Amino acid sequence: MTSDPDINSAEAISLANTYADARNYRRAEEVLRSALVHDPHNAGLLTELARAQHLRGDNAAAEKSARDALAITPDDAYAMRIYASILFELRRRREGLSWARRAVDAAPYDHLTHYEYARLLATAGDAAAALPVATEALRLAPASADAHDLMGVVYGMLGRRSESTAEHEEALRLEPGHARAVANIAVNRANSRNLAGALAGFTEAGRLDPHIGDDVRKSITATVRQWLSWTTVAAWAALWLIGQIERNNDGPTTTSGARVIAGLAFVVLVVMFGWLARSLPRNLWGPILRQREFRSLKIYLGLGVVVLGVLGAFAVGALVNFWVLAGTLLATVVVSWVAPRFDKDWLDKVRLDKH
């Protein structure tokens, strides 16, 4: 019973789509291939085969299948759309955009052709061109969660963050389990320096859809790095200043006020680290710190410098100018909070991956 009997093309496509929805692309491909044995020139089967191969990551094979399909039905907008996506993945972006445009012309009332064209434009970084296309997709399918999510991505790229978040939230309202919308809201939070909210969002997105776990892990890594990088830079600056003062000072000048400020800076730093630690589930710290981005000695050196600076405020106070030390430690906190973001580019890129 479990083996597939000789099924006709329509049934094969239906079955393959079910497997593709379940992300079992290999099985989808098998079903389509066995149907193609009996009906080798069926454009529908070839197009679906191209889609399954594309989703599986075999874009070279997918390109051939899509070309075969288009040779049989050159006006099929669906085949054009699949072909465009494949070419884009093969880094033939100009051709991909051209085919996506042709698909729009061939089926101007199909929201998916507009959606795909807008998605490719946004992925190519042309948010301004993507905006009207995404708007048209949304006009044709106002109840499509994916269309709202894409609109949010385009707004986000244009810096219209509140509109972007509103679109992602609308996508979530329409489809509560839309993991990518959750992740995209988290990207907006990270870019608004709401790092705790961003981390919670990314973690939730990973829970909703484990298939995007790699992207989620990288986004969390980027967020944590964003926090740590500037702390590290500021801490290095503090250490350098301490060194300068130590070299130029004739003798130690300590005051109780300096100690209070240094102590305050220490407490704020500890709170910030504690807050960061609490924002991320404990079991994720190991995997995050094992990411390639954290295999950098300078980050750990930087953290060490923070500790040294704090210790300097209390234990080796006799050696440094405490007013300067306290000020630089406070600056560490301030800089880490308000500094621009190293990882913004990465976070923006994550919005579009594998939409």
Sites of contact with another protein (CB under 8 A): 1-5, 7, 10-11, 14-15, 17-19, 21-24, 27, 144, 175-178, 203, 206-207, 210-214, 216-217, 283-284, 287
Q: How many angstroms from the chain centroid is the CA of residue 179?
A: 11
Query: Distance (Å, rounded) from C-alpha 324 to C-alpha 320?
Result: 8
18 or 255: CB nearest another protein: 18
Cβ at position 174, least distance to another protein in Å: 10
Q: For another protein, give the closer residue by CB, 1 or 297.
A: 1
Residue (91 or 282) nearer to another protein, CB: 282
At 23, list the tokens: 């992300």
Please tell me the distance from the alpha carbon of residue 159 to that of residue 324, in angstroms, as a whole number: 38
Q: Which is nearer to another protein, 219 or 328 (CB)?
A: 219
Angle at which helix 179-191 crosses helix 344-352, to 10 degrees, equals: 160
Pick from 153, 214, 235, 222: which is nearest to 190 by CA? Answer: 222
Q: How far is the CB of 210 from another protein (least distance, A)?
A: 4
**Cα–Cα dist 86/66, whole Å:** 9
CB-wise, 183 or 265, nearer to another protein? 183
Q: Is 315 exposed, middle or buried (0-12, 13-18, 19+ CB in 10 A)?
A: exposed
Say how far apart CA 308 and CA 302 lie, in whole Å. Answer: 10
- Least distance from C-beta 177 to another protein, angstroms? 4
Our CB check for another protein shows the closer of 137 and 262 to be 137
Closest approach, Cβ 287 to another protein, in A, equals 6
Minimum CB distance to another protein, residue 90 (Å): 21
- Minimum CB distance to another protein smaller for 24 or for 253: 24
For residue 152, the minimal CB distance to another protein (Å) is: 18
Q: Nearest 5°: CA angle at 220, between 215 and 221?
A: 95
Q: Is 247 exposed, middle or buried (0-12, 13-18, 19+ CB in 10 A)?
A: exposed
Cβ(317)–Cβ(259) below 8 Å = yes
Smallest separation, CB 267 to another protein (Å): 32
